Amino acid sequence: MSTSKSISRKRGSDSSLNKSESKKRVVDDFDAGFSSDFKDIMSALRQIKEKAHKDGQKRIEEIISSVASEIRSKIDQLNSKLVKDRQDFAKAYSENLTECGNFLEHETAKIKEVYEKFYKEKGVNFESMLNLGVFEKFSVDKDKEKGDSFEGMRDASHNIKENKKRMLMRNEQLETTEKNLISEQEKFCAEQIAKLVVSLEKEKQDDKTFSILKITLCSFLVNASDEDFLPDD
């Protein structure tokens, strides 16, 4: 009877030992499998991170390139307009000077012709009288033809002054327009740069969010207990 009980206890002890060893092997096998799975997960995360980083860099480069291209286009358009406006003004100014010069030359020739005729009739040399300053002493009221010529000279002088005034006003308007256009361009550039900063910050935040997700997942996997992953009996 004693022998039977001893054998029974031994069998029970062997059974408990076998069960304990079996469970230990299951745990060891699971730990090995979990470690392998964990490494696979981390490797996958790294690959995703690298790809996301490359994609992020590409997006950042595209964003910067797009904004720079748009700003450059606006600057080129503004520069072309300013150059054209200045060229138009220079052309108008040149034509105005030529017109005034031609008109003045024409009126001067008319006056010279009148006085040459007048002094010829009087038997006096025009050039000598001109050098003596007699030219200014004759009243335009004494001769209708001379009066018309002097009137033409006064008109020429008046036209030159008026044209000069108009050109100065046009130049002031052009300068004001240029300042406004440049101010608008500066505002546009500032807005585009602000948008660029927001886009870059968003890309940076997305990258930070991914890093936080990775850290959280790693922390969860490392801190998880073995019992959480043990298979059911």
pLDDT digits (tens, 9 = 90+) for 151-185: 666 776 777 778 778 888 888 888 888 888 888 88
**Nearest Cα residue to 174 out of 67, 71, 118, 93:** 93
This prediction has a pTM of 0.48
Given pLDDT bands bounded at 50, 70 and 90, which one contains residue 27? very low
**Nearest Cα residue to 139 out of 122, 118, 123, 158:** 118
pLDDT at res. 124: 55
Given pLDDT bands bounded at 50, 70 and 90, which one contains residue 16? low
pLDDT at res. 51: 66
Residue 208 reports pLDDT greater than 70: no
Domain ranges for the chain, please list them. Answer: 26-228
pLDDT at res. 229: 40
Rounded Cα gap, residues 145 and 151, in angstroms: 10
Are the C-beta atoms of residues 38 and 221 closer than 8 Å to each other?
Answer: yes
Least confident of 51-60, 170-179, 185-194, 221-230: 221-230
Are the C-beta atoms of residues 181 and 78 closer than 8 Å to each other?
Answer: yes
Given pLDDT bands bounded at 50, 70 and 90, which one contains residue 131? low
